[in-house]
A and B are shown apart, each in its own frame.
Chain A
Amino acid sequence: MSTTYSKPTKRIRKEHIARLLVYLGVALFVAFCLAPFLWIVSTSLKAPSQLHTRPPELISWPPFFKNYIDIFRGRPFAQNIWNSVVVAGWATFLSLVVGSFAAYALARLQFKGRDLILSMVLAVSMFPGIAIVSPLYLSFSRLGLVNTNIALIFPYITFSMPLTIWTLTSFFRELPMELEEAAKVDGCTPVQAFRKVIIPLSAPGVFTCAILVFIFAWNEFLFARTFMNNAASYTVPVAMQLFEGVGDYTIPWGQIAAASVVVTLPLIILVLAFQRRIVAGLTAGAVKG
């Protein structure tokens, strides 16, 4: 310490180099995260002849926008996207309703069986989905629910319970207790206090949670692959896995890339718009332990 202090200019230069290295590292990291996806964007704008070059061209000219039209031809891809919107939308809404009831009770009320509920939620968070597909599949076929959105919405509500309950419980806990007390003094019942005081105040938390559940449901594959077996019922991940050429046996990489970009767009928009909240929601649980 004392030796560097006697040579201030050298020390400053050393600090400059260190800063430069840090930012270089960060730039590399950002490139690492984005490069594969940018490569897919570039691939989505290539015609088959532009794809089959060795080495590949970074960006091909002229851009081949036809991929973005062709993905909707000869296959129910638009329907698949709509299915995902409906399933993920309902799953998110119902998960928040069910989850916010439970989270409110866990955060604010004293009742028997709290610990049992918390261990159930923990167990669900660790549960491998594959362990229950066989009986679920048999029950859904017996009930005629295969190829219906209900077959996905229920599992999605369940598997998002840990996320919803943990996030919302911590948000509810942070709200000051006096608010409910005041509401009760004003003659509100506990239910009214919950509806009129807690719900509006916890809107930011609920919203963050909604984004996370929506992304989870939009991306889920195992149940969707198992419970949906006709092309019109597929959700996006299943349609993407089975995406192939129409009347053609070669793999249409340009179209697959275009389809990838289209289905990723909603996610990118969510991420760009709400990155701060998403990060806060994701890290809250892990840091508190």
Chain B
Amino acid sequence: MGAQVAGSATKGRQGLSESQLGRALVTPAVLVMCAVVFFPILATFWLSLHEYNLKYPYLGQPFVGLRNYIELLSDSRFLNSVKITTLFTVSSVAVELVLGMAIALLLNRTFKGRGIVRTAVLVPWALTTVVMARMWAWIFNSEYGVFNAILHRFGIIDQYIPWVADTNFALWAAVGADIWKTTPFMALLLLAGLQIIPRELYEASMVDGAGGWKRFWSITVPILKPTILVSLLFRTLDAARVFDLLFVLTGGGPGFATESLSIYTYRSLFVNLDFGYGSALAVATFLYVMLISFIYIKLLGARTER
């Protein structure tokens, strides 16, 4: 590919126009994206129209039309996984935004120690999610976990609680771990946005006698809005696709208490080996995530038109 381009280009600019060169240069990227993402999503959809279980190869792969999707609508486990995914996404992203904003405002007022802060921020971000999930499993341990020990020490709990094995707490333990991992990153993005707001704007409004809270809502938020929306978009998508953290920390359990869409899809595909129904679940996850992007892009689009 590269040799071909170079070979024809040595003929000079007449040999390869700008437009031809442009298209040649994007070809490898387009090919790889088509081969790994765009063609396979069509294949997933095609699989979802069939009954196909790797456990029963003798049953073959009969075409069943939309039957898997009809089944999906009355599958309480599917509806539960939509609920879990939504709960996880909304609660973790909401806390991350508020906390991240508070931290960004705080960091924007400091000058010393930026290097230490930057390193500290990047540790949770860079840490492998699987590693951090096992780390939190130990912290939340029901018998020797430091989280229990601290709460006990301050008299908040009388007895140690098996956080990740308790139906009432498991999802919130996961949300807590997610907040730890991504809030610093959120703060970093918002801080970068804050730093490009000209100081004079604040000084002018201070002369007008506006208080801190009012300045925040009338100056900071409107200017920061695009940054907030873009970081929210990508955080929301990440949370909606959540797999690693739940798979390792709780395994989707106890029962189905933390079974997100991705986890249910994975289990259906690789535990039940049901590639027909599992693919229908995969398409549903895809549509769920695309719906979120669509809403955000509408919001962002409305902003640029204005």
**Complex CA distance for A125 and B261, rounded to whole angstroms:** 19
- List 4 A-B pairs, minimum CB-CB distance, nearest first: A111-B22, A135-B43, A283-B192, A109-B22
Interfacial residues of chain B within 120-148, with CB under 8 A of chain A in the complex:
120-124, 126-132, 134-136, 138-139, 141, 143-146
Residues of A at under 8 Å CB distance from B? 1, 22-23, 25-26, 29-30, 32-34, 36-37, 39-40, 43, 51-56, 97-99, 101-102, 104-106, 109-114, 117, 120-121, 123-139, 154-155, 157-159, 161, 165, 189-192, 215, 218-219, 221-222, 225-226, 236-238, 240-241, 243, 253, 256-257, 260, 263-264, 267-268, 270-272, 275-276, 278-279, 282-283, 285-287, 289
* Residue of chain A at shortest CB distance from B231: A286
Residues of B at under 8 Å CB distance from A? 5-6, 9-10, 12-13, 16, 18-23, 25-26, 28-30, 32-33, 35-38, 40-41, 43-44, 47, 103, 106-107, 109-110, 112-113, 115-124, 126-132, 134-136, 138-139, 141, 143-146, 149, 152-153, 180, 184-185, 187-189, 192-193, 196, 206, 209, 226-227, 229-231, 234, 237, 240-241, 243-244, 247-248, 261-262, 265-266, 269-270, 275, 278-279, 282-283, 285-286, 289-290, 293, 300
**Complex CA distance for A154 and B33, rounded to whole angstroms:** 9
Contact in complex: B244, A222 (CB < 8 Å): yes
Which residues of the other chain, A, contact B129 by a CB distance below 8 angstroms? Answer: 219, 221, 237
**Complex CA distance for A123 and B21, rounded to whole angstroms:** 24
Contact in complex: A260, B189 (CB < 8 Å): no
Which residues of the other chain, A, contact B103 by a CB distance below 8 angstroms? Answer: 29
Contact in complex: B127, A37 (CB < 8 Å): yes
Jot down 27 A-B pairs with beta carbons below 8 A, ordered by A.
Answer: A29-B103, A29-B117, A33-B184, A36-B135, A52-B144, A56-B145, A56-B146, A98-B32, A121-B29, A130-B285, A131-B41, A131-B282, A132-B43, A135-B279, A136-B36, A139-B40, A158-B37, A191-B6, A191-B21, A222-B244, A226-B270, A241-B130, A253-B138, A260-B134, A264-B127, A278-B122, A283-B189
Contact in complex: B25, A286 (CB < 8 Å): no
Which residues of the other chain, B, contact A109 by a CB distance below 8 angstroms? Answer: 18-19, 21-22, 25
Which residues of the other chain, A, contact B265 by a CB distance below 8 angstroms? Answer: 130
Determine chain A's interface SS by DSSP, over half rule: helix
Determine chain B's interface SS by DSSP, over half rule: helix
Q: Which of B44, B122, B146 contacts A271 (CB 8 A)?
A: B122
Q: Which of B25, B44, B109 contacts A131 (CB 8 A)?
A: B44
Q: Which of A130, A159, A275, A285 contacts B115 (CB 8 A)?
A: A275
Which residues of the other chain, A, contact B135 by a CB distance below 8 angstroms? Answer: 36-37, 39-40, 257, 260
**Complex CA distance for A245 and B196, rounded to whole angstroms:** 51
CB distance from A128 to the nearest CB of B (A): 5
Contact in complex: A110, B43 (CB < 8 Å): no
Contact of A279 with B188 at beta-carbon distance under 8 Å, contacts A26-B106, A29-B117 already known = yes
